[in-house]
Structure 1
Amino acid sequence: MPVRQRERDLLTRTAAAEERARLTALSEPGWPPAVQAATYRIVQESLTNVRKYAPGSAVTVDLVAAPDRAALIAAVTNTAPPSGDARPAPQAGPPTGRNGLAGLYERTAQLGGHLTAGPTPDGGFQVRATLPCPA
């Protein structure tokens, strides 16, 4: 299944769970299977964290190619949750363990990519991965 459709399906389920969600994605890019799998996992885990730590916030998923198409950039950003709905967010930076954000850091590094996760200036949270795509 192409990256775009898998993420769209995740976002549809998120929106159905009463989260406000938007997807910006490439048209069928034909990325390598390992990059597609990592992208799906990043979006999946990030949306899970939005539901868990920031229920009711708006979330945006952006899947774009780097200008030279040498990398896929996946970013999942949520706004601050409505007042009183926030729960302690995951720690910024590389965590330990193999689940959650720690697993995303590990998966991204295995592909030679880079992942950042942390709060945004407006009180939201963003997970952003750059995954190299060999020609």
Structure 2
Amino acid sequence: MGFFSALAAALTPKPILATADRKQGAAFAADIPGPGGYNFEVIGESKYQNRFRANLPDEFTKPAAVRCYVVARLEIDDDPDAQNHIIVKLGYSPVGHIPEEDVRSVRQMIKQHGRGQTAASCRAVVVKRNGSYGIWLDLSD
């Protein structure tokens, strides 16, 4: 692996496994501080179920696991046709997006707390129900 590949790998946000204890999730470092409620819903996850499996620790893909606390990346889509689109990623993989009615407020959070004003990280919880994954962000409403 070359220097730049190693550097990119080191800087890539990785999902972090925690216990089902909410307080455990509060310890993760993120650009955007959250209230700890994990009630901000992400939509579109049904299209990305394989990407959840690829980016989550093996322990979480077992049947008994129901929650995994992670650091998610929020990116403002640079596609001019998608002006009101913010992508939610685990690592480099998209796993959903912000609902259209919340894009303006989340865009403000990214610009206030993010790096380069186009992306920021926040704490999140991935929830597994009936074999499907969903993600909830720790952002203020």
* Pairwise same-fold verdict (TM > 0.5): no
TM-score by length of 1: 0.25
Compare relative contact order (CA 8 Å, sep 6+) and give the higher one, 1 or 2.
2
TM-score (norm 2): 0.25
